[in-house]
Chain A
Amino acid sequence: MPTQFEAQLVANRTLGGGYVVLEFSAPAGRLDGVVPGQFVMLRGAWGRELLNPRAFSVLWSEPDGRFAVMLKAYGRGTTRMVAMQPGDSMTVTGPLGRGFPPPGQGSVQLLVAGGVGLPPLHLQARVAVQAGHGRALELFYGGRNRDDLVLLDDFERWGIAVQCATEDGSVGARGFVTVPLRERLLQARRDGARVEVLSCGPTPMLRAVRALALELDVTAWLCLEEEMACGFGVCLGCAVPVHGERPYRYCCTDGPVFEARQVRW
């Protein structure tokens, strides 16, 4: 059940490339059992100028109440957030939304991440490793250059296979992450192996992943970003176009994770 609570910033860790991890302390138990892909709405002491909270995927959470998010300065809210100092507080609402399907259900999960889309997939990997399903995951990680690829050492420590792609070719394959992903999906088809794709990142990347998954008839789960005002199903602002009996679903309550085929892109 989501609740609203106050959290204090404990650490603001710079990862390079403009990415930061904000670590918070909060009352114990509030984010227990968070599913990778679920998110929190965060709002600082922003006065009357910036009204609405911002959505962030949970990077990790501990039973003692500590949790972290990862972000990059983007607009007005995130610019304030990356400048936060330990001791600053934020109002948190969560956990919200529906996350990714759990690992270890018989398919190998191919995690496809780009930019600030890494956190839910990082958490998926962490949870899988803790449950002994580390071998059932692989990471495909795309960025413009070396600086865009962060927290790779965690995946290495967890023993998860990683394939990178950068637009400038500085790390891994040159081009988009769908290049190595296509190869992997074709190989799985040749081997008759069961795979599914879990992806989060910039919308152009998600569109490309979706197109590839549809082309090769692979199940893909996309963690989408829409403008949100409330995050808990009230404003109806975060509509996602879908196929099916209704033209729209809601990113905050039906998602943010949607099956690629369902999304009307």
Chain B
Amino acid sequence: MSAPPRTAALPRERVDLRCGFGPLTLPHPILAASGCFAYGQQFADFMDLRRLAGLSTKGISPKPRFGNPLPRICETASGMINSIGLENVGAEAFLRDKLPYLSAAGLSVWVNFFGEDFDGYVECARLLDAGRGHGIDVLEMNISCPNIKKGGIEFGTVPEVAHRLTKACVAATSLPIVVKLTPNVSDVVAMAQAVAEAGAAGVSLINTITAMAIDVRTRRPRIATTYGGLSGPAIKPVALRMVHQVHRALPQLPICGMGGILSGEDALEFIMAGASCVQVGTANFARPDASLRVLDELHALMAELGIATVAEVVGCVQPIEPETPWNPAAASAPDAEAGKR
């Protein structure tokens, strides 16, 4: 195995946490993830919101939506399954009632959005464009929600469809569009490439993984919609793999990484896999200030490892050095049996 780079530790104040994400400059790489931070207000009781780099809102649709029947959530080993049903206040009420609070807090506001069909997506992008200059920095297009029925699956799984949809939404707004991809595909690189070519400013990776849990006593699924989306540390290894694959194939495409981040070390893994910034989701439920803990830990860890800037480690992970090829003809080591005698 290759030796780790030996770098002297740095004092914390020498660590520069600033990072770039496409057209944006962020004070540090930690944002809160969609659906796990609502519209921000609830968190003000527990933390200083202004310390966050930004947040992605609950997914917004052109019209308000009521959610799914219950049960909507259940906890599983190192994770949870949810099927909330993309309940939200709708674009108009978001702009009127929620955005002013967020823009006053000075955060980078990423508005996660979706439509119930192709035109719904485009309409939503157009409606949200009104928030340009009023606090919205990014439109994060969710083409990956497993929890809506009407054709939603195709947007997230068929590269040509995702390409067309992205192109139409990019044309409908002058805000940067970051496409949030689903892990429920066999070739995530093809999806990333399709949306990048359609003008996406970056991708968010990953949304939840389609999953199920069963109550053996009642012989029913634990989620009313039978399947839901798995989040939390259980999905982190899958998320890291996808971030790494996309970054290797498309090194110029900014990636916002997420999936099971609970600690600074988790965040640094995503950054080393190729993410320019990360989002913290499920962790917010147990600890409303989870993102700030991740930030403080990342800061301390970068200092310990002698990493002066985020940019120098984005995608820095190197393959493990290959072994010396096996040569059966070469002198063999004394085998175990021989050693015993």
Interfacial residues, chain A to chain B (CB-CB below 8 A): 1-4, 43, 48-53, 91, 93, 226-230, 232-241, 246-248
Check if A235 sits within 8 Å of B84, measured CB to CB.
yes
Interface contact B233-A237, CB-CB below 8 Å? no
* Contact (Cβ within 8 A) A232 B84: no
Check if B51 is an interface residue, CB within 8 A of chain A: no
Task: Tell me whether A248 and B66 are in contact (CB under 8 A).
Answer: yes
- Complex interface: chain B residues within 8 A of A234 (CB): 36-38, 42-43, 284-285
Q: How far is the CA of A78 from the CA of B71 in the complex (A)?
A: 20
Known: A93-B288, A240-B70. 16 other contacts (CB 8 A): A3-B45, A4-B289, A48-B233, A49-B78, A51-B282, A51-B286, A229-B282, A230-B284, A233-B42, A234-B36, A236-B67, A236-B87, A237-B84, A238-B73, A248-B66, A248-B70
Q: From the candidates B46, B70, B282, B283, name the one contacting A226 in the complex (CB within 8 A).
A: B70
**Given known contacts A51-B78, A234-B37, A4 and B288 CB-to-CB distance under 8 angstroms:** yes
Q: List 28 A-B contacts (CB under 8 A).
A: A1-B45, A2-B46, A3-B46, A48-B78, A51-B75, A51-B79, A51-B286, A52-B80, A227-B70, A227-B73, A228-B73, A229-B73, A229-B80, A229-B285, A230-B285, A232-B45, A234-B284, A234-B285, A235-B35, A235-B73, A235-B285, A236-B35, A236-B87, A237-B84, A239-B68, A240-B70, A241-B69, A241-B70
B79: nearest chain-A partner, CB-CB: A51
Q: How many angstroms from the CA of A235 to the CA of B80 in the assembled complex?
A: 11
How many angstroms from the CA of A229 to the CA of B35 in the assembled complex? 12
CB of A54, distance to nearest CB on chain B (Å): 10
B208 close to A (CB within 8 Å): no
Instruction: Determine if B74 is an interface residue (Cβ-Cβ < 8 Å).
Output: yes
Tell me, yes or no, whether B72 is within 8 Å of chain A by CB. yes
Q: Does B18 contact A (CB under 8 A)?
A: no
Does chain A have a CB within 8 A of B77?
Answer: yes
Q: Which residues in B have their C-beta under 8 angstroms from that of A50?
A: 75
Contact present for A48 and B72 (CB under 8 Å): no
Give the residues in chain A near B286, CB-CB below 8 Å: 43, 51-53, 91
| Residues in B neighbouring A93, C-beta threshold 8 A | 46, 288
Category for how many chain B residues contact A? 35 or more
Cα A2 to Cα B286 in complex, Å, equals 14
A230 to chain B, nearest CB (A): 4
Q: Which residues of B are found within 8 Å of A4, using beta-carbon distances?
A: 46, 287-289
Q: Min CB distance, B248 to chain A, in Å? A: 28
Min Cβ gap A250→B in Å is 10
How many A-B residue contacts, CB cutoff 8 Å?
98
Residue interface bits B47-81, CB-to-A below 8 A is 1, else 0: 00000000000100000001111111111011110
| A52-B285, A93-B288 known; A246 vs B66 contact (CB < 8 Å) | yes
Give CA–CA (A149, B284) in the complex, Å.
37
Q: Which residues of B contact A48 (CB under 8 A)?
A: 78, 233, 262
Binding site of B, secondary structure by majority: helix, strand, loop or mixed?
loop
B254 contacts A by Cβ under 8 Å: no
Q: Evaluate contact between A239 and B80: CB separation under 8 angstroms.
A: no
A233 to B73, CA, bound (A): 14
A235 to B72, CA, bound (A): 10
The CA-CA distance from A239 to B233 in the complex, in Å, is 25
> Once bound together, how far apart are the Cα atoms of A43 and B282, in whole Å?
15
A238 to B75, CA, bound (A): 13
Q: Which residues does chain A contribute within 8 Å of B82, judged by CB atoms?
A: 229, 235, 237
Query: Hey, which chain B residues are within 8 Å of A238, CB to CB?
Result: 72-73
A247 in contact with B66 (CB, 8 Å): yes
Residues of A within 8 A of B43 (CB): 234
5 residue pairs, one from A and one from B, having the closest CB atoms:
A237-B73, A230-B285, A229-B285, A234-B38, A48-B233
Chain A CB within 8 A of B232 CB = yes
Which of the residues A3, A43, A232, A239 comes within 8 Å of B67, measured between beta carbons? A239
* Shortest Cβ gap from A98 to chain B (Å): 15
Cα–Cα, bound, A248→B262 (Å): 30
B66 touches A236 (CB 8 A): no
**In the complex, what distance in Å separates the CA atom of A248 from the CA atom of B288?**
24
A97→B289 CA distance, assembly (Å) = 20
| Alpha-carbon distance A233/B286, docked complex (angstroms) | 12
Minimum CB distance partner of A1 in chain B: B45
Contacting residues, chain B, for A229 (C-beta < 8 A)? 73, 75, 80, 82, 282, 285
Q: Which one of A43, A235, A241, A246 has the greatest number of beta carbons of chain B within 10 Å?
A: A235
Once the chains are docked, how many angstroms separate the CA of A49 from the CA of B97? 37
Cα–Cα distance between A245 and B233 once the two chains are bound (Å) = 37
CA–CA, A179 and B38, complex, Å = 44
- Partner among B71, B72, B87, B233 whose Cβ is within 8 Å of the Cβ of A51: B233
**Residues B265-297 near A (CB distance < 8 A):** 282-289
A256 CA / B283 CA spacing, docked (Å):
23
Per the bound structure, the CA–CA distance linking A247 and B85 in Å amounts to 13
Q: Which residues of B contact A232 (CB under 8 A)?
A: 42, 45, 288
Task: Among A2, A48, A226, find the residue whose CB has the most chain B CB atoms closer than 10 A.
Answer: A48
A79–B69 Cα distance when bound, in Å, is: 29
Contacts of A239 in B (CB 8 A): 67-70, 72
Query: CA of A239 to CA of B58 in the docked complex: distance in angstroms?
Result: 16
Chain A residues closer than 8 Å to B80, beta-carbon distance:
51-52, 229
Chain B residues closer than 8 Å to A230, beta-carbon distance? 284-285
State the CA gap A54–B74 with chains docked (Å): 12
Q: Write out the residue numbers on chain A whose beta carbons fall within 8 Å of the beta carbon of B233.
A: 48, 51
For B73, the chain A residues whose CB sits under 8 A away are 227-229, 235, 237-238
The chain B residue with its CB closest to the CB of A54 is B75
Docked complex Cα distance between A4 and B74 (Å): 23
